[in-house]
Chains A and B, each alone.
Chain A
């Protein structure tokens, strides 16, 4: 006998989005670095900024109010409108 159950998930439809092509060079592109506000994150980001500027990028720095919560919508919007490149990475 077939058992029918109700879907326990949110049944979200995932909208696929195409990833933009990687830029050939960072020359002149604005890169966003978001400090998640964990101790010593700034040390790591300072060094990244140094490297990116060395590669010709313009770096903008942002910070979340607290590392325990997602970045506020306004901040995400600001980053999206001001930057051309985002470095996606996770570390702890």
Chain B
């Protein structure tokens, strides 16, 4: 942490802050001349040290005066008595200037009023840096200097802090800006992150969010995802450690997804949208850099999956004919919610011919049956992400979420004799004891989940196969976004 710098005192009398770039400031130069003759005037200029030519100004080169005295507009006129600000006015308003200065007849020939311009000290490109320099820091992370001769991006790779793609350097200014995205204190402990079970703070998660490329408004979604991932139910430790190609799949819903610009339409599960791409990535960077989970270490995935870089998308809940996945998982209503599912990469089911719901349900069931192995049952959950063209077939027939899931589940039923070990000449399968069971479903109850996303054209659905489901593995979790 660092302490705030001292506020530079303002001299008694009249203080005016200007910048040359501001036309109003240029216009009032004659007024400044009048005041210099009749009162004690101290002038500060933010940009050109030679502006105005007369009267001479102090150059607020580092903007310390402007920042500490909350100058938001130039010109700002302040009356100071005994070192204390008594009154201020911004822009040019002759009546106010005359009253505040006690000088009549200011600016003859000038219009009675003209608005000012933005102060350099509140320039969006400068304000974060100034806040760090002057405001002190509530951040407690260790500072690491990267030498001038060192390439920042390469240094971050070399330290092992990236997922293989470049990351944004987490400077204090960027992390402070990221923290504007939440009302939570930087020092608040959020959760213990596996595999090292390190208690992480909002600040540390904000650092990961910066590195992933998030905007501040994404941070509440990242925080919510981290909290959900690190529950015993979701079992992030096991998900990381498994040899299977799975990671935390984030499915977001609610009006907030649109507010932060998430994609639930064309290419929703693909590249090209900043929020989709970086929110899921931030969660994975938390696991890597804070939890200590790295491929080859605790992460023992045989093949892994591209989805482990970060797999996050939004549901098109505003147009969904069957509600949200969050609703299916118990978070009802038009709320911002994150659902987390332990899943592999998506695969596509093509059915361009089914126009009645039963035919389509059979097609989808056939696709779902193949998750991991057609002869394996119960162990794996799945999320079925239907696009508008498939979902419409069910909607037009009046099928709701429960009806769709029930029909698909029914069409996955197969005789145990076809599924047991050795059946069909395949050693893999369910235990021998099922050979007499007439109909064995693919999924355990509640194991088939439904989401709605995708572009308007294409009679396709996507299947996201799960990992070991239920109490022995990972259960899908859902929570509303905490701002």
Contact = CB atoms under 8 A, between A and B. Distances in A.
B139 to A, nearest CB: 6
B144 A10 contact: no
B472 A68 contact: yes
A68 B474 CA distance: 8
Contact of B147 (A2, A8, A11, A67): A2
Contacts of B409: none
B239 to A, nearest CB: 8
Given A1-B148, A68-B468, A6 B473 contact: no
Given A66-B473, A68-B472, A6 B172 contact: yes
A92 B244 CA distance: 12
B235 interface: yes
A70 interface: yes
Interface string A7-31: 1111110000000000000000000
Select the residue from A4, A66, A92 with max chain B CB neighbours within 10 A.
A4
A10 B238 contact: no
A6 B152 CA distance: 13
Q: Interface residue tally of chain A, by bracket?
A: 10 to 19
A92 B243 contact: yes
B123 to A, nearest CB: 20
B200 A5 contact: no
Contacts of B290: 8-10
Contacts of A65: 472
A13 to B, nearest CB: 11
Contacts of A8: 141, 161, 170, 204, 207-208, 211, 285, 289-290
A69 interface: yes
A81 interface: no
Interface in B275-289: 285, 289
A28 to B, nearest CB: 35
Interface in A14-54: none
B321 interface: no
Contacts of A92: 243, 300
A69 B144 contact: no
Q: Which applies to chain A's interface (DSSP): helix, strand, loop or mixed?
A: loop
Nearest to B152: A3
B475 to A, nearest CB: 11
A6 B161 contact: no
A7 B232 CA distance: 28
Contacts of A4: 143-146, 171-172
A6 B144 contact: yes
A50 B145 CA distance: 57
A79 to B, nearest CB: 18
A66 B121 CA distance: 58
B148 A5 contact: no
B41 to A, nearest CB: 37
A10 B196 contact: yes
B145 A2 contact: yes
A69 B203 CA distance: 28
Given A4-B146, A68-B473, A12 B171 contact: no
A11 B204 CA distance: 10
B173 to A, nearest CB: 10
Contacts of B292: 10
B319 interface: no
A70 B161 contact: no
Interface in A43-92: 65-70, 92
B19 interface: no
A5 B472 contact: no
Given A66-B473, A68-B242, A69-B238, A9 B139 contact: no
B139 A6 contact: yes
B237 A2 contact: no
Given A4-B143, A6-B139, A69 B169 contact: no
12 contacts: A4-B144, A4-B146, A6-B170, A7-B207, A8-B161, A9-B289, A10-B198, A10-B200, A10-B292, A12-B196, A68-B472, A68-B473
What 3 A-B pairs come out closest when comparing CB atoms? A68-B238, A6-B141, A7-B142
Interface of B: 139, 141-148, 152, 161, 169-172, 175, 193-196, 198, 200, 203-204, 207-208, 211, 232, 235, 237-238, 241-243, 285, 289-292, 300, 468, 471-474
Given A5-B170, A10-B193, 20 more contacts: A1-B148, A2-B145, A4-B145, A4-B171, A5-B143, A5-B146, A6-B144, A7-B143, A8-B161, A9-B161, A10-B196, A10-B198, A10-B204, A11-B141, A12-B196, A12-B198, A67-B472, A68-B241, A68-B468, A69-B237
